C-alpha cells in the first residue's frame, strides 16, 4: 500500500478538484514537459522569472539590498513575491494575543512600527517613493483595528492581521527597487487572489484570480511586479491568508498566474538537502529532483518546501529552484519534470515525529471483504489523519500510523466500528503503540531498480534498528518504515550512509601523532586522491580522519580533519577523554569506524576489547596488546571474533609481512616448529656494524643520532622489545606464552639500568669491555655476534646475543634489516625467511597503513 498520507493525492493534484481552473488551463498541460525540458540547463536565464524571498532573506535593509541585486537576473519580465521581514508574523500574532489577554500591546506596536520606518528611511532616504507615508498609514490602521479588537472576535480577523507583514515588506522592496520610475509595479495580492477553504487546506479559485489579474494588468502595464505573499481574499471579499508557509504557496500561485518560465525561491539554505543536517552531518544539497520527489519529501516533513507549493508550478510545468540569498554562488536545487539522475537511487530521507501505530488484529478478518474500508471509514469519521498503512497478505491484521495526539481517538473509533466483530470473536484487539516515527526514503531512481529496499533494510539492521511496519507504494518512489522514536536519529543516519556515502567510508581516529603517527598521516594524505579517483563509486575508499589525540589532548571534527594539518593539537583541542573519542569515531552516520593506536600506551591498549566489541576496528603498531597480560589478549581476540577487526602487522617487523606470512602458513594447515630471527632494527644495525674496531658505545651514540634508537637507547638494548615481539609470534601460533617466560639477555649492565638517561650516556663506554670480550671469542672461532630471538619446538623462548653458524640467514642482513626464519612441517629443512627493513617511522607507518587497507578490502574496497 502507498505510504503517502491520504491528503497527499489531493494536494498533489490540486487542480483536479477545481473544474473551472482545469478547463481554463487545459491548453497549458500539453506543453508542460516542453517547458521543463527547455529549462533543464540551470544557467539559462528565463524570459519571465518569478522570485520569492523569505523572511530570513528580508531581515534588515542590507538583506533587502541583496535581494534587489539578485532580481537583476537579465529576465525580460520579473515577479518578486515577498514575505514579511523576519519575525514580523510572530510579532503580529503576539500583538493580537496581547489585546485579547488585556495586556499592554502599545510598546510592541511601536517597536514594530519603528523597525519598518527605520528600514524605509534607509532604503528610501530621499522619500521619493512615498514609502514612509504609506507605512505610517498602514500602522495607523493597524492601531485602530487593535483598539477595536474584542476578545470574542473570530479567528478570521486575527488571521488577516497576521498577513500585514507581507504588505509592509512589499512597500520596502518596491522602494529599494526604485519603484515605478524603475519599471516596478506593486501588487497587493488581496486585489487579485481569491481562495476558499478546502479539505486539504486553502484552495485557489483560479478562474476568478486569473480574471482579476487580467483586470489589474490593464491598469498596470509595468513589466516587473512586486507581489505580497501569504495574503489573499475569500469569496466574500474578506482578507485572509494562505496559512503557515503560505508565502511559498503564493509564489507558486503567482508564477502560474503570470505564466512564468521559472520560479526561484530564495531562502537561507543552499537547496533541498538529502536529510536534516542537524541530525546527519553528511547531508548533501541535491542538485535536482522531480516534482514528484519534492512532493513526497514535503509530505514527509522536509522543511524547505510546503506540500502545496508544488501543485501550481507542476500544473504548468514551471521549473522551481531553491537558492540561498547568503550564498548566491551555489546553484541550489532545481525541481522540474525530468531532473538529472542522481548518484544514488534515493534523493532524500525524512523523519515524521510524534506518531503512533494503530493495529487491528482479527482471525475472522481473513478473506472478509470490507474490513479495511470499515477501519478507515471509522478513522475518517473521527477526523483522524493516516500517515502510513501496512497490511500483510495473510489479512490477519491491519496497521496504520497516525498522529500521536489522535491515536486514542482513532482507537476508540475502531473499537466502536468493530464492536460486533469483537463480541463475536472475529476481531481480537485494537492495539496502540506510542512513540513512533516514520522514516521515508524518496527517489525516482528507486523505480524499477532491484535491491533498494534491501539496501535500506541492511543499513537499518547494521544500526540495530527494529522495523515496526513497512510500506511501499506501487509507484516505487517511496519506502516508509515505522520505527521506535528512540531509534529515529540512528535510523536516519544509517539510512543516509547506506545510500549517500561510499560503502567503504570509514571514520578514522588516530591516537599518538608521534614519529609513526605523523608518517602515517602523511601517507594517508598522499593516497587519498588516488582512492577518490576510482572510476566505480562502489569501490572508492573514503578514509575520513575525524579524531586525533595524544596523551593529554584530542581534536574531534564533525566532518573531517585534513590529513596534512591534523598534527597540530595545540589548536581547537580539548582534554583527552577516550570514551568520548571512541564514541565520536563510532559515528552512526558513517558505515564503519577504525581507531589507529600509535601511542605505545598500555592504558590505551586496555580499551581494545570494548572498542572491538562495539564494532570499532583497531590497528596498532604497539606491542602492549599482543604481548601484554594473557587474559587481556584473550579478551581482545574474543571481541574481534564478534565485533571489529584487530590488525597488528606492524608490531613485528614494522612494514614486513611477518604476521601475515605466519598466519597464511597456519591457516593453510601447516604447523610451526621453530621461529628464529632478528626482531630489532636497532640491534640489527648495531651488530651488522660491530667489527671489534669501533667501540660498541660509539655505535650506540651514532645510532641514537641517526634516530634508529628510542629516545632512551636502553629501551632497545634491554631486549624487552624483542621479547615482546617473540611473545606476539608465539601467541599467533597458538602458544600461550607470556613475557616473564622468556629468557632475556640485556646489554645494559646492571649498574646502568636505574640511572638517569644523562648519566647513562656519560657512562656508555661501560658496555664496551664485555662485548669486546665476546666478540674476540667469537672471531677466534670463526663466528660473528648477532642478537637473536628464538622459540624452539619444545616451547623454550630466549632473546640474546648468540654466535650463529656460518651460512645462517641472520649473517646476511644489512643495515636495519629484520630477519625472521620460520621452520614448519612444510619448511623443515629449508626454512622460510622474511627479510627487510624493520625500523624507521616510514616503514612502520606503511605496515599500519597496510592493515588499514586490509580492513577496507574486507569491507569491499579495492585499494
SS (H, E, C) 231-266: EEECCCCCEEECCCCHHHHHHHHHHHHCCCCEEEEE
Outline where DSSP puts E strands in 415-521: 429-442, 467-472, 478-484, 505-511
Catalytic residue (choose from 218, 623, 725, 757): 725
Nearest to 763 by CA among 745, 746, 751: 751
The C-alpha cell of 550 is what? 595524544
φ, ψ for residue 178, nearest 5 deg: 100, 0
Q: Report the distance separating Cα 246 and Cα 252, nearest Å.
A: 10
Q: How far is CA 324 from CA 66, 283, 287, in A?
A: 11, 16, 13
SS (H, E, C) 347-398: CEEEEEEEEEEEEEECHHHCCCCCHHHHHHHHHHHCCCCEEEEEECCCCCEE
Sign of the alpha-carbon torsion through 777, 780, 781, 785: positive
What's the half-sphere exposure (Cβ side, CA atoms, 13 Å) at 532?
Answer: 10
Q: What share of the chain is helix, strand, coil (3-state, %, to 5)?
A: 45, 20, 35
What's the half-sphere exposure (Cβ side, CA atoms, 13 Å) at 692?
Answer: 12
Contact 338, 36 (CB under 8 A): yes
Q: Report the distance separating Cα 466 and Cα 435, nearest Å.
A: 14
Whose cell is 632473546? That residue is: 799
Give counts: helices (H), strands (E), the chain: 32, 31
- Do β-strands 77-82 and 48-53 pair in parallel, antiparallel, or remain unpaired? parallel
Which bin fits 721, alpha (ψ -120 to 50), beta or left (φ > 0)? alpha
Nearest to 286 by CA among 368, 196, 238, 350: 350
Contact 4, 478 (CB under 8 A): yes
Alpha helices in 710-810 (DSSP H): 714-717, 720-732, 757-762, 768-780
Which DSSP letter does residue 752 get?
G
CA angle 533, 534, 539 (to 5 degrees): 140
Exposed, middle or buried: residue 23 (CB in 10 Å: 0-12, 13-18, 19+)?
exposed
Other Cβ atoms less than 10 A from the Cβ of 106: the count is 13
The C-alpha cell of 520 is what? 602515517
Helix (H) or strand (E) holding 638: helix 630-642
Q: Report the distance separating Cα 325 and Cα 48, nearest Å.
A: 20
Q: Give yes or no: 623 in active site.
A: no
- CA 36, distance to chain mean position in Å, is 31
Nearest to 407 by CA among 433, 429, 389, 427: 433
The C-alpha cell of 684 is what? 640489527
Q: How far is CA 244 from CA 23, 92, 240, 250, in A?
A: 29, 13, 12, 11
Q: Report the distance separating Cα 473 and Cα 11, nearest Å.
A: 17
Nearest to 55 by CA among 244, 309, 235: 244
- Among all residues, which ones are annotated catalytic? 725
Amino acid at each position: 500500500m502507498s505510504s503517502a498520507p491520504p491528503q497527499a493525492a489531493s494536494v498533489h493534484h490540486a487542480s483536479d478538484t477545481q473544474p473551472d481552473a482545469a478547463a481554463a488551463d487545459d491548453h497549458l498541460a500539453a506543453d508542460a514537459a516542453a517547458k521543463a525540458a527547455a529549462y533543464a540547463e540551470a544557467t539559462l536565464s528565463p524570459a519571465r522569472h518569478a522570485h520569492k524571498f523569505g523572511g530570513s532573506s528580508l531581515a534588515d535593509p542590507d538583506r533587502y539590498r541583496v535581494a534587489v541585486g539578485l532580481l537583476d537576473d537579465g529576465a525580460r519580465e520579473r515577479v518578486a513575491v515577498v514575505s514579511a521581514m523576519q519575525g514580523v508574523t510572530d510579532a503580529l500574532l503576539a500583538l493580537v494575543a496581547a489585546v485579547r489577554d488585556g495586556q499592554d500591546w502599545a510598546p510592541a506596536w511601536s517597536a514594530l512600527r519603528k523597525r519598518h520606518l527605520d528600514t524605509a528611511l534607509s532604503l528610501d532616504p530621499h522619500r521619493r517613493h512615498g514609502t514612509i507615508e504609506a507605512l505610517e498609514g498602514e500602522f495607523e490602521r493597524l492601531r485602530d483595528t487593535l483598539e477595536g479588537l474584542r476578545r470574542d472576535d473570530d479567528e478570521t480577523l486575527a488571521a488577516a492581521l497576521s498577513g500585514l507583514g507581507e504588505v509592509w515588506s512589499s512597500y520596502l522592496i518596491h522602494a529599494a527597487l526604485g519603484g515605478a520610475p524603475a519599471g516596478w509595479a506593486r501588487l497587493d495580492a488581496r486585489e487579485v487572489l481569491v481562495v476558499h477553504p478546502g479539505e486539504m487546506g486553502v484552495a485557489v479559485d483560479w478562474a476568478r484570480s486569473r480574471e482579476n489579474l487580467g483586470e489589474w494588468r490593464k491598469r498596470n502595464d509595468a513589466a516587473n511586479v512586486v507581489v505580497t505573499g501569504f495574503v489573499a481574499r475569500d469569496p466574500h471579499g474578506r482578507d485572509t491568508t494562505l496559512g503557515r508557509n503560505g508565502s511559498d504557496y503564493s509564489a507558486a500561485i503567482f508564477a502560474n498566474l503570470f505564466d512564468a518560465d521559472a520560479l526561484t525561491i530564495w531562502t537561507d539554505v543552499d537547496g533541498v538537502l538529502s536529510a536534516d543536517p542537524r541530525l546527519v552531518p553528511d547531508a548533501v544539497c541535491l542538485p535536482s529532483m522531480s516534482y514528484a520527489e519534492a512532493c513526497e519529501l514535503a509530505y514527509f516533513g522536509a522543511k524547505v518546501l510546503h506540500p502545496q507549493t508544488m501543485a501550481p508550478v507542476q500544473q504548468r510545468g514551471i521549473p522551481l529552484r531553491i537558492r540561498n540569498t547568503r550564498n548566491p554562488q551555489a546553484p541550489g536545487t532545481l525541481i522540474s519534470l525530468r531532473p538529472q539522475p542522481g548518484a544514488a537511487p534515493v534523493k532524500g530521507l525524512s523523519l515524521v515525529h510524534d506518531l503512533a501505530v494503530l493495529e487491528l488484529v482479527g482471525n475472522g478478518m481473513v478473506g472478509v471483504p470490507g474490513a479495511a474500508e470499515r477501519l478507515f471509514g471509522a478513522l475518517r469519521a473521527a477526523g483522524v489523519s493516516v500517515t502510513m498503512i501496512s497490511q500483510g497478505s495473510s489479512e490477519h491484521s491491519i496497521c496504520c500510523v497516525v498522529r500521536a495526539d489522535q491515536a486514542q481517538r482513532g482507537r476508540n473509533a475502531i473499537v466502536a466500528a468493530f464492536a460486533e466483530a469483537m463480541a463475536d470473536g472475529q476481531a481480537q484487539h485494537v492495539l496502540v503503540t506510542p512513540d513512533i516515527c516514520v522514516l521515508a526514503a524518496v527517489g525516482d531512481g528507486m523505480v524499477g531498480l532491484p535491491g533498494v529496499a534491501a539496501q535500506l533494510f541492511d543499513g537499518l539492521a547494521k544500526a540495530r534498528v527494529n522495523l515496526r511496519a513497512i510500506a511501499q507504494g506501487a509507484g516505487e518512489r517511496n519506502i516508509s518504515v515505522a520505527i521506535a522514536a528512540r531509534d529515529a536519529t540512528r535510523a536516519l543516519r544509517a539510512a543516509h550512509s547506506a545510500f549517500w556515502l561510499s560503502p567503504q567510508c570509514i571514520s578514522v581516529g588516530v591516537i599518538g601523532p608521534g614519529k609513526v603517527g605523523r608518517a602515517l598521516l602523511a601517507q594517508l594524505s598522499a593516497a587519498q586522491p588516488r582512492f577518490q579517483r576510482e572510476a566505480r563509486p562502489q569501490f572508492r575508499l573514503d578514509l575520513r580522519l575525524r579524531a586525533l589525540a595524544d596523551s593529554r589532548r584530542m581534536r574531534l571534527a564533525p566532518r573531517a580533519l585534513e590529513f596534512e594539518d591534523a598534527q597540530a593539537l595545540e589548536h581547537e583541542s580539548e582534554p583527552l577523554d577516550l570514551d568520548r573519542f571512541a564514541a565520536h569515531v563510532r559515528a552512526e552516520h558513517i558505515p564503519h569506524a577504525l581507531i589507529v593506536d600509535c601511542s605505545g600506551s598500555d592504558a590505551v591498549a586496555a580499551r581494545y576489547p570494548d572498542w572491538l566489541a562495539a564494532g570499532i576496528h583497531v590497528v596498532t603498531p604497539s606491542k602492549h596488546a599482543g604481548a601484554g597480560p594473557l587474559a587481556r589478549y584473550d579478551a581482545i581476540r574474543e571481541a574481534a571474533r564478534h565485533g571489529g577487526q584487530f590488525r597488528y602487522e606492524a608490531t613485528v617487523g614494522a612494514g614486513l609481512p611477518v604476521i601475515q606470512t605466519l598466519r597464511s602458513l597456519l591457516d593453510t594447515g601447516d604447523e610451526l616448529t621453530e621461529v628464529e630471527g632478528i626482531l630489532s632494527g636497532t640491534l640489527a644495525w648495531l651488530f651488522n656494524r660491530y667489527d671489534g674496531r669501533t667501540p660498541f658505545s660509539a655505535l650506540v651514540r651514532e645510532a641514537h643520532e641517526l634516530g634508529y634508537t628510542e629516545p632512551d637507547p636502553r629501551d632497545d638494548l634491554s631486549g624487552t622489545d624483542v621479547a615482546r615481539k617473540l611473545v606476539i609470534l608465539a601467541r599467533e601460533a597458538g602458544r600461550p606464552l607470556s613475557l616473564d617466560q622468556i629468557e632475556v639477555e640485556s646489554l645494559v649492565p646492571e649498574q646502568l639500568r636505574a640511572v638517569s638517561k644523562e648519566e647513562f650516556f656519560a657512562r656508555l663506554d661501560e658496555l664496551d669491555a664485555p662485548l669486546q670480550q665476546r666478540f674476540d671469542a667469537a672471531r677466534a672461532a670463526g663466528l660473528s655476534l648477532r642478537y637473536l630471538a628464538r622459540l624452539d619446538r619444545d616451547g623454550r623462548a630466549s632473546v640474546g646475543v648468540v654466535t650463529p653458524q656460518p651460512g645462517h640467514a641472520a649473517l646476511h642482513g644489512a643495515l636495519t634489516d629484520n630477519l625472521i626464519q620460520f621452520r614448519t612441517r612444510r619448511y623443515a629443512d629449508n626454512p622460510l625467511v622474511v627479510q627487510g627493513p624493520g625500523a624507521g617511522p616510514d616503514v612502520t607507518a606503511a605496515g599500519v597503513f597496510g592493515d588499514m587497507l586490509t580492513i577496507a578490502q574486507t569491507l569491499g574496497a579495492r585499494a
